[in-house]
Chain A
Amino acid sequence: KNQVEQSPQSLIILEGKNCTLQCNYTVSPFSNLRWYKQDTGRGPVSLTIMTFSENTKSNGRYTATLDADTKQSSLHITASQLSDSASYICVVSARGTNAGKSTFGDGTTLTVKP
């Protein structure tokens, strides 16, 4: 069964600090992995997308890494801001017959405090 597991479930950090969120998956055959940010009361918004051949991708203060061999990804947030408080969701898509559906992790809830 395709699964995506994220850790930690929740995280509290001080403004200006860095943090790293983890995502492990068992989706196969792998097509791509996306990190989404979901603000409270809003729909998720894509931050990065990574395919099999990519091992790092940056979007401003967000940097995602992918190790396709160990099936692990991380999202690193640098110099956190209060507006980074949100849920971060790892989403993995498959190729072939399962290409129509993505598998969503339960998300990591990040709280940035002043």
Chain B
Amino acid sequence: GAGVSQSPSNKVTEKGKDVELRCDPISGHTALYWYRQRLGQGLEFLIYFQGNSAPDKSGLPSDRFSAERTGESVSTLTIQRTQQEDSAVYLCASSLGRPSSYEQYFGPGTRLTVT
């Protein structure tokens, strides 16, 4: 079946602009995650959605970052007033449930470049 998809695959934006990144999880997956991966570095947790529970936003680096998820489907990550330090690959993953029990399946990522 279809995997996790993300759009756009690449985004170049000017400093100060807002951007929206989209993630379509695998159908039926109740859990959805956003990660940030800077060049040459590991994955940095941003936010976690699990079903209808309140999302875990503990990884969001500032109030310029926000994310929403419609039910158990599409999610959007919004970065307001982008800064050059926001340049990174943003990865989305989904799973049937918590990672303590279920594997996370990753999308191909969105490469964001802030000029």
Q: Please list the residues of chain A having a beta carbon within 8 angstroms of any beta carbon in chain B.
A: 31-32, 34, 41-46, 49, 89, 91, 93-95, 99-102, 104-107
Contact = CB atoms under 8 A, between A and B. Distances in A.
Interface string B39-70: 00111110010100000101100000000000
3 A-B pairs with least C-beta separation: A43-B106, A106-B42, A99-B100
14 contacts: A32-B100, A41-B108, A43-B107, A46-B105, A49-B103, A91-B99, A93-B99, A95-B100, A100-B98, A101-B56, A101-B59, A102-B99, A104-B35, A106-B42
> What's the interface size class on B, roughly?
20 to 34
Contacts of A34: 103
Contacts of B108: 41-43
Contacts of A41: 108-109
Interface of B: 4, 31, 35, 41-45, 48, 50, 56, 58-59, 91, 93, 98-101, 103-109
B107 A101 contact: no
Contacts of A104: 35, 42-45
Contact of B100 (A42, A89, A94, A105): A94
B17 to A, nearest CB: 24
Contacts of B93: 43
Contact of A105 (B35, B42, B101): B42
Contact of A43 (B4, B45, B59, B98): B4
